[in-house]
Structure 1
Amino acid sequence: MVAAPTPNEVATVLLAKKGLKLQSLETIQSLWAGYGQICRITATPDSSLNSSTDSSRSVSAESSNVSTPQESQSYILKLITPPPTKADDEGHTRKILSYQVEQYFYSQLAPQLPASIPVASCLASINQHHADGTSTTAMLMSDLRQHYPVAGEKRDVLSPIQVNAALDWLSGFHGFWWPHVRHMNRQSLVLPPLEEVQRGGHDASGKTVWINGGYTYLATRRGEYSNLAKDYDSEWNEPLTDWVDGEDVSISEIAAAFLAPKVSGWSPIDGYQTLIHGDVKSENLFTSRNGEQLAFYDFQYTGLGLGVCDLAKLFTCSVPLDLLVSGQPISRELKMQEGERQLLERYWKRLRDVGRQEYKWNIFLRHWETALVDWLRFQASWGFWGNTVWLESRVRSILKDQEWRDALISNVNKADISR
């Protein structure tokens, strides 16, 4: 097996590409299952290069973090050195592909974003796949904390100002990509992990982003869903996994098929798809000290989808509960409250302004309600966390709405439902 390079070795190589020299390195986080590290490094221009004034100026122009020839600057190194690929391990394959997707996002898509949608800059990267099935993926990125020093951290930490900043960033991101995704080559998109392996790809070389953004959609969570279908003690066993009257599929399968982007052919969400972040939560953002500016990171699950799928996780996992229900007791079945409506309207209005396309409020709400049902299906089968009392109450109300059920069922072709 090829020996994995150390963070110091990789940092030195990547920094040299920018005429920089490593000064210090600190591991700040280990990746899932020991697949790598995230490190904060400091570097200075490499004086041994004897650069001329012109070349020094060129280095400074290439790296937005280098402001003066002698100044020490902070960068982030994300290094992934996973074990060999396991073709039948969906979770392992999902992670391997996700790091390739993230590298594509930072190197190819992030530079297209306007300054109003800040993300980290990728200064240099490595993507090597070895004969023994191991790989080395690394990115040298700007340090967001230079301009956004406040970490989002856990649920209930976000202030109302920070929540609004998150909604503005997401509506800007979704709105920007909304008119652009129709020009993407669908054949280059990354399929669900095991499907991608079946067509010969253990990594995403030559690929772009996920066909279906996020990591909770039903096509990759059939095992958890099967467990829920067998769990007769769960409240959500019957409403989410029993067959719908007259159909041999469940409401969960119908909702998932409705929300799933397609490589080809008509989809009920045509005209509303965009790129979604895929893992929206307070732990994946930094804000300015006043909370009014914000930047998200961790784009491993970026792909096509409806923007409301990002919002479903944000509202459940990161928005303080009193912003959704104004401190009132939550009934067992809960229709949309004023707080929830105000947050959605802020997002919806800016989404349309940035995307310069029409999105009727009633259609947006149907999409939102379907995203909540789909998100609850994942939590009910995997494990609950966040504003779960609110989420469960909202979904009980949605599932009893016959108009919502009829509209959903009528818009889904049973042939498109993955079993």
Structure 2
Amino acid sequence: MNFTYQNIVSSLDIEASFNVEVIQGLWGGYGELVRLSFCDEKSLDNGNLGNDDLSKPNAITPPNLIVKHVSLPDKSEHPKGWNTERSHLRKVGSYQVETSWYQDHTQVFDPYCPVPKGLLCKQSDNEWLIVMQDLADLGFPNTHQTANKMQRNACLEWLANFHAKHIGTEANDVWESGTYWHLDTRPDELDALQDLPLKAQAEAIDRKLKQASFQTLVHGDAKLANFCFNLKGDKVAAVDFQYVGHGCAMKDVALFMSSAVEPEDCDGLESELLESYFGYLQEALTRYQPHLSFPEVEASWRPMFYVAWADFHRFVKGWSPNHWKINSYTESMANSVVNEFQSERKNESIK
């Protein structure tokens, strides 16, 4: 791939000088995410903008571009030591999925679950390029490390609309099983898991999620950091679709809660977050899937919240046993799910 930022700009027919701002490096040294910001050269007069030029069409500054450039490193580095061949192949697959997602699934803007439009997407054997809109230009300039109630609800509303929209969606260019932690892609972490009761039920938990009714598309990494907020904080757009794929919607909700609510507050806020999500979901179903019964969807999905969190807890506990996301709330929830599955298994053996 003949990659330069000037080539990108030229291929999009932009005639302007630009600045390159590195936003962040990609996980494991796989590339970088940058912003290209422009000034219109045709409106320059000895390096300065003249007032008369501002009224001319050619004085309009092109909107910023976000460029995600992935190039496979000679050796990847993982902060938890999981730089295995399986980990490498998972990341390669994730970049293939994300490139296809931006190319094929973002061309029509949806105001209820907005994402940046893919403007230029290219793939080669060991390199991926995604050029997309800058969400700041679309009215979503902010990210947050912590979230208040309004900001949490904004993310839950986005998720509810995304899930409702994609119930029954058939897409071959996304993961067959969405999320980065599902059991099929994490056998190493399962082998390392020391919680034997949870380990024994891992396959049953995974199967329960896969067999849940009203399968949809999940974002796959719906953490707070992957939502961009408007100035007020009541609307969001989402980014980072490396692990978008088919699955149970509650996997996104559980992961989001794990990232946006402090462990000591989870028990007290659990009901509030679920009520908000399902309230938004009821409205979203009337918009996208009016033929579906909201009570039926809710009855199927609500119990899966606990199963989804037990599934995520299984991954975290095998991946990083001392991680802060392992706490009394998650332990209690996972133990409850494990006990329920054990009881079901005993009842089946009695029959």
Q: CA deviation at 1:84?
A: 7.0
Amino acid at match of 1:27: V
Q: CA deviation at 1:113?
A: 5.1
The aligned counterpart of 2:271 is 341
- Gapped runs of 5+ residues in structure 2? 44-55, 77-83
Aligned counterpart for 1:324 among listed residues 258, 266, 271: 266
Amino acid at match of 1:395: A
Structure-2-length-normalised TM-score:
0.82
Aligned counterpart for 2:241 among listed residues 294, 299, 302: 299
The aligned counterpart of 2:331 is 392
Q: CA deviation at 1:41?
A: 0.8
Inter-CA distance 22–78: structure 2 relative to 1 (3 Å threshold): farther
SS at match of 1:290: coil
Amino acid at match of 1:136: E
Inter-CA distance 227–321: structure 2 relative to 1 (3 Å threshold): closer
Q: CA deviation at 1:27?
A: 1.3
The aligned counterpart of 1:195 is none
The aligned counterpart of 2:140 is 148
Aligned counterpart for 1:12 among listed residues 1, 6, 20: 6
The aligned counterpart of 1:101 is 97
Mapping of residues 142-221 of structure 1, within 5 Å: 142-146=133-137, 147-153=139-145, 157-179=146-168, 181=169, 184=170, 188=172, 208-221=173-186
The aligned counterpart of 1:27 is 22
Residue by residue over 1:362-405, the C-alpha shift from the partner in whole angstroms, topping out at 9 and shown as x without a partner, is 43232112112111111111123337332112222333346x95
Is this contact kept in 1: 2:198–2:338, CA < 8 A? Answer: no
Separation in 2 of the partners of 1:387 and 1:293?
Answer: 30
Inter-CA distance 159–322: structure 2 relative to 1 (3 Å threshold): farther
Separation in 1 of the partners of 2:101 and 2:330?
Answer: 31
Inter-CA distance 360–95: structure 2 relative to 1 (3 Å threshold): closer
Amino acid at match of 1:122: G
Inter-CA distance 325–210: structure 2 relative to 1 (3 Å threshold): same
Is this contact kept in 1: 2:313–2:334, CA < 8 A? Answer: yes
Separation in 2 of the partners of 1:325 and 1:68?
Answer: 56
Residue by residue over 1:71-110, the C-alpha shift from the partner in whole angstroms, topping out at 9 and shown as x without a partner, is 3332211111114799x81111111111111111111112
Residue identity (%): 26
Is this contact kept in 1: 2:99–2:122, CA < 8 A? Answer: no
Is this contact kept in 1: 2:32–2:68, CA < 8 A? Answer: yes
Q: CA deviation at 1:170?
A: 0.3
Q: CA deviation at 1:406?
A: 2.2
The aligned counterpart of 2:48 is none
Is this contact kept in 2: 1:376–1:395, CA < 8 A? Answer: yes
Is this contact kept in 1: 2:98–2:243, CA < 8 A? Answer: yes
Is this contact kept in 2: 1:40–1:76, CA < 8 A? Answer: yes
The aligned counterpart of 2:80 is none
Structure-1-length-normalised TM-score:
0.69
Separation in 1 of the partners of 2:17 and 2:130?
Answer: 15
Aligned counterpart for 2:112 among listed residues 111, 116, 136: 116
Q: Does 1:89 align with 2:31?
A: no
Aligned counterpart for 1:257 among listed residues 207, 210, 218: 207
- Gapped runs of 5+ residues in structure 1? 49-66, 130-134, 189-207, 232-236, 242-249, 261-267, 327-338, 411-419
Amino acid at match of 1:254: A
The aligned counterpart of 2:300 is 363
The aligned counterpart of 1:137 is 128
Inter-CA distance 407–279: structure 2 relative to 1 (3 Å threshold): farther
Is this contact kept in 1: 2:97–2:175, CA < 8 A? Answer: yes
Separation in 2 of the partners of 1:253 and 1:318?
Answer: 28
Inter-CA distance 322–169: structure 2 relative to 1 (3 Å threshold): farther
Amino acid at match of 1:324: C
Q: Does 1:374 align with 2:311?
A: yes
SS at match of 2:112: coil
Runs of at least 4 residues off by over 4 Å: 44-48, 407-410
Inter-CA distance 361–127: structure 2 relative to 1 (3 Å threshold): closer
Is this contact kept in 2: 1:165–1:293, CA < 8 A? Answer: yes
